[in-house]
Structure 1
Amino acid sequence: MSILKNKIDFAVVVSVSNANPNGDPLNGNMPRTTYDGYGEISDVCIKRKMRNRLMDMGESIFVQSDDKKNDSYDSLRERAKANLALMAAEKAKSNEEFAKIACESWIDVRSFGQVFAFKGEKDDKDDKKGGVSVGVRGPVSVHPAFSKDIVSVSSIQITKSVNNESNDKAKKSSDTMGMKHRVDFGVYLIKGSINVQLAEKTGFTEDDSEKIKEALRTIFVNDCSSARPDGSMAVYKLYWWVHNNKIGQYSSSKIHNSVHIEKKSQCEQSSSIDDYTISVKNLEGLKLEEYDGI
């Protein structure tokens, strides 16, 4: 499959209904919001979901989460050591070959990039050998997603009715209180682009771009949890712009700003995607593909 030849920009309109799209561990796992009250989903969270979808599609992923991993490795170092060609490049101290093999082996490395920073291991003589420090810049960049309007966050108290431990102290506190948080409703916009110059360096192909597209279109498939019940988060539209050259006919900023999300009425709080009008301004000569979510 040929290396990507034309720059790509994309935008995904996402609806959130009674779900926590991205909890903040530094704030009691409440949904992330800006200081102004707009909802936020971090780029790291979005790429995690994309990696999970690519795994579902049968792709090899380097950065796997513990609850989704499909191998027996407990760390990135162990997963890297299992790649014999990669270890041969490390032993030869060839950073260029190391990066090339890593990109060929895992789609998330050649898409998003990766920092390989592993310490050397001690041998029988207690001498430290090996080790690697290699950075790969990936062509696929993803912005944090923000909601169109200020979101309303609801919190409820929850209790547990079963003890974790069998000691007397635990028996006296079986109804321990906790909190659960959710966004009542919000429309978020995910934005990103794919850079051809970096694609040439990592070996990112036209076929890879189609897989990234499908991962975005189906990003919430097989992603349900207690905080995100099935159907509570959905892709409404995926916009996919393909330029006619490497650098791009328009800036990514101008393209992303061509997506307009407006309320149909001036109601204080929206409760459905149908409360919004979503349109895209046509940019002359630029190819736009539009897809419905699943």
Structure 2
Amino acid sequence: MAINNGEIVFIKSVKDGIPNRDPLQDSDARRLFPEEDGRISLSDVSIKRDVRDYVLSAETNGGTSKKNFIFVQEKVNEKGKLLGRGSLAESIAEQVGKKQEAKTDMKSILVEHCFDVRTFGIVYSVKPKFNLTGPVQFGWAHSLHPVDSQYIQGTVVMPSSDVKDDGGEGKTQGTIWTSYIVPFAVFAMSGVINAKIAEQTKMTKDDQELLLKALWQGTQYRQARGRGQQQPLFLLHVEYNNPFFRIGYLEDLIELVPGEEVWRNGGKRPSSVKDITLNVSPLLEKLNEYKDKIANVRIWVHPSVAVDGNIEIYKQPLW
């Protein structure tokens, strides 16, 4: 079945960490807005990494259908060397029994067997070169409020080196580590699904459903101490009747309560999900305004977050 033009809004929270650090700012939080604005951001690359890593784990060796391999991944050979684009593609072709076909038509093989190629597109720089624009494009995720990151320091008990073989002293004390963390933040990310481009990459309805599931479960799956404790809170998927229409900027119609004025003017800043409410009433009003152009609306909500607005007709069971 053909993909409908669509929009996605995904909201998640993070505690005690930074999901996507800025290497140009000593691995502090990324800030695309002026300092006085205070909001922090996560790149679309980070969100796609969550999706890819989940699919890579959930759909082992391409899944039962051999359709859900991940092309963009970190993989090493038997000597521990990272594989490049050509070697990754050849590995997939070999696993699906199309090693000979790959010599003349690698594009068709990757489109047929790689979830991220059909969904996010591909730049293949190995001859014969080709590229495909992905039908799914995410914007940057921005916090719904000003955020202050904290610079912290700690120690590791283990010394960084052993006693030397010649009897000389090794390190006798543990090492010191430093890091930035964010105590609590709520991020909203927008995305679009282009129906016409989906035809070119052969993205399917099954790919779309896997994408939505991976957004939710991938946020929970991808773990690292520095990334903090992350929780998916709200996911909206709107499908349109017209392949050339979308409302746009739906994330701007969701408000965080308490609002910006409280955070900026010295009020108590929420420290967990239980301290906030998502006001989606403006969003629901906009969806109702364009209901004649909408084919379907679905919403997933984590039970820990309070929502202001009647979403019951759109609410879906969690995976």
TM-score band, normalised by shorter chain:
0.7 to 0.9
SS of 1:218 mapped into structure 2: helix
Query: Are positions 1:245 and 2:246 aligned together?
Result: no
Written as runs of structure 1 = structure 2, the 5 A alignment for 1:32-111 is 32-34=30-32, 35-36=34-35, 37-58=38-59, 59-66=68-75, 74-75=82-83, 76-82=85-91, 83=93, 88=100, 91-92=103-104, 97-111=105-119
Which residue of 2 is the match for residue 124 of structure 1?
Answer: none
Which residue of 1 is the match for residue 252 of structure 2?
Answer: 257
Which residue of 2 is the match for residue 12 of structure 1?
Answer: 10
Once superposed, what is the RMSD of the aligned Cα atoms? Answer: 2.6
TM-score (norm 1): 0.81
Show CA shifts across 1:221-268 (max 9, x none). Answer: 222211135xx21111101111112122x3323x33333334268225
Shift of the 115–89 alpha-carbon distance from structure 1 to 2, 3 Å rule, reads farther
Identical-pair percentage:
24
**Aligned pairs, how many?**
268
Q: Unmatched 5+ residue regions in structure 2?
A: 60-67, 303-317
Answer yes or no: is the 8 Å Cα contact 2:9–2:235 preserved in 1: yes
Deviates more, 1:177-186 or 1:33-42: 33-42
Q: What is the alpha-carbon distance in structure 2 between the residues aligned to residue 43 and residue 247 of structure 1?
A: 23
Letter in 2 for 1:38: R
* Counterpart selection for 2:300 from 280, 291, 294: 291
TM-score (norm 2): 0.75
Shift of the 87–117 alpha-carbon distance from structure 1 to 2, 3 Å rule, reads farther
Q: Unmatched 5+ residue regions in structure 1?
A: 119-130
Shift of the 86–38 alpha-carbon distance from structure 1 to 2, 3 Å rule, reads farther
Decide which structure has greater strand share.
1
SS of 2:51 mapped into structure 1: helix
Decide which structure has greater helix share.
2
SS of 1:181 mapped into structure 2: strand
Distance apart, 1:64 and its partner CA: 1.7
Which residue of 1 is the match for residue 227 of structure 2?
Answer: 228
Distance apart, 1:87 and its partner CA: 6.1
Answer yes or no: is the 8 Å Cα contact 2:102–2:109 preserved in 1: no
The structure with higher relative contact order (CA 8 Å, sep 6+) is 1
* Counterpart selection for 1:22 from 17, 20, 24: 20
